[in-house]
Amino acid sequence: MSIHSENRKKVTVKSIAKYKGSEKIVMITAYDRLFANLFESQVDMILVGDSLNMSFLGRNDTLSANLEQMIYHTKAVCNGANTPLVVFDMPYGSYNSKEEALKNAVRVYKETDADAIKIEGGSDRVDIVEHLTKNGIAVVSHIGLMPQFVRGDGGYIVRGKTPEDEAELLKDAKMLEQAGAFAMVLEGIKTDVAAKITDEISIPTIGIGAGLGCDGQVLVWSDMFGFFEEFTPKFVKKYLDGANLIREALGEYVDEVKEGKFPTDRYSY
Ligand code: KIV
């Protein structure tokens, strides 16, 4: 069990580069202060992901997330996360051009304490990544299975299954690195292809459904702790039976209230 010390140093865009080849990066999503604070002493990076709108709003995909919501949740996360590097997930439709991307990313930097932003997309987003990084915005790229493209792609499709697709992913990764991205999420990519990308670029890769060869891993907290029950993708390992633990505890509370056993004197004035 890993409980890191309370005097860890702040993880920065610069220090995260040093993990490559020496220590695996642990990233988790968080959407509020409470959970960011629970996670903060053990993880290296926190992603305020637009997965928020699936886990907590109940939508079928992430496309409904907007800038206002993401800013609100990122402010909450930053209030609880002192040492992890906090990444703001730019919502669908907020970075369609380089001008729009910069305007919105500047707003994110002004209104939150996020250390970096994440954008989905391959070579088609290179000019945007370049424009953002030249203007002082730290960018995490996200390639492979890109949830913001799910409607256009016709579903959640694992990438890297053909030599052509492998070549495209490799090209994308190299171009995004060149454009200035300091880290890259690899989602839903065949293990060998993700490992190859990791070997061929000098920035850290963070996998989700991309196998052991990545420089780090990210999971959505409500998936890995068993709270999201609608479906479980193959790459999600459940580290806790969260929903059932809550049900049991709630059942105890309900019984005690119904039976007039709560509150006892201990909980009364
Ligand atoms: O929104 C999110 O949580 C993400 C992760 C799945 C990487 O983008």
The pair phi, psi for residue 109, each rounded to 5°, is -65, -35
Helix, strand, or coil here: 135? coil
Going along the chain, which residue ranges are E strands?
25-29, 45-48, 85-89, 116-120, 139-144, 183-187, 205-208, 216-219
Distance 127 CA to ligand 1 centre (A): 22
Distance 181 CA to ligand 1 centre (A): 17
201 lines ligand 1 (CB under 6 A): no
36 neighbors 77 (Cβ within 8 angstroms) = yes
115 neighbors 143 (Cβ within 8 angstroms) = no
Once rounded to an integer, what is the mean pLDDT over residues 69-84?
A: 98
29 lines ligand 1 (CB under 6 A): yes
Mean pLDDT over all residues of the chain?
96
Q: What is the pLDDT of residues 230-242, one digit of tens each?
A: 889 999 999 999 9
177 is known as an active-site residue: no
Q: Read off the pLDDT band of 4 (50, 70, 90).
A: low
Q: What is the pLDDT of residues 180-230, one digit of tens each?
A: 999 999 999 999 999 999 999 999 999 999 999 999 999 999 999 999 998
Catalytic-role residue among 111, 168, 187, 259: 187
| Listed residue (225, 213, 235, 219) closest to 45, CA to CA | 219
Cα 165 from Cα 81, distance rounded (Å): 37
234 neighbors 250 (Cβ within 8 angstroms) = no
| pLDDT exceeds 70 at position 5 | no
Q: What is the pLDDT of residue 223?
A: 97
pTM: 0.96
Q: Read off the pLDDT band of 7 (50, 70, 90).
A: confident
Question: First CA to last CA across the chain, in angstroms?
Answer: 40
Question: Which percentage of the chain shows pLDDT scores above 90?
Answer: 96
Cα angle 113, 225, 71; round to 5: 20
Measured by CA distance, the residue closest to atom 5 of ligand 1 is 49
The pair phi, psi for residue 64, each rounded to 5°, is -80, -10
183 neighbors 206 (Cβ within 8 angstroms) = yes
55 lines ligand 1 (CB under 6 A): no
120 lines ligand 1 (CB under 6 A): no
50 lines ligand 1 (CB under 6 A): yes
**Can you identify the CATH homologous superfamily of domain 13-238?**
Phosphoenolpyruvate-binding domains (3.20.20.60)
Going along 121-167, which residue ranges are E strands?
139-144
Which atom in ligand 1 lies closest to the alpha carbon of residue 50?
A: 1
Distance 50 CA to ligand 1 centre (A): 6
Q: Read off the pLDDT band of 8 (50, 70, 90).
A: confident
Q: What is the pLDDT of residues 110-146, one digit of tens each?
A: 999 999 999 999 999 999 999 999 999 999 999 999 9
Q: Ligand 1, residues 31, 46, 50: which to mutate, most atoms within 8 A of Cβ?
A: 50
What is the H or E stretch that residue 218 is in?
A: strand 216-219
28 neighbors 43 (Cβ within 8 angstroms) = yes
Q: What is the pLDDT of residue 231?
A: 87
Contacts of residue 162, defined as CB under 8 A and 6 or more positions apart, other chains included, come to none
Instruction: Say how many C-beta atoms besides its own lie within 10 A of residue 259's C-beta.
Output: 8
Q: What is the pLDDT of residues 81-92, one digit of tens each?
A: 999 999 999 999
104 lines ligand 1 (CB under 6 A): no
Q: Where are the domains of the chain?
A: 13-238, 242-269
Distance 51 CA to ligand 1 centre (A): 6
| pLDDT exceeds 80 at position 6 | no
Instruction: Say how many C-beta atoms besides its own lie within 10 A of residue 134's C-beta.
Output: 12
Distance 208 CA to ligand 1 centre (A): 8
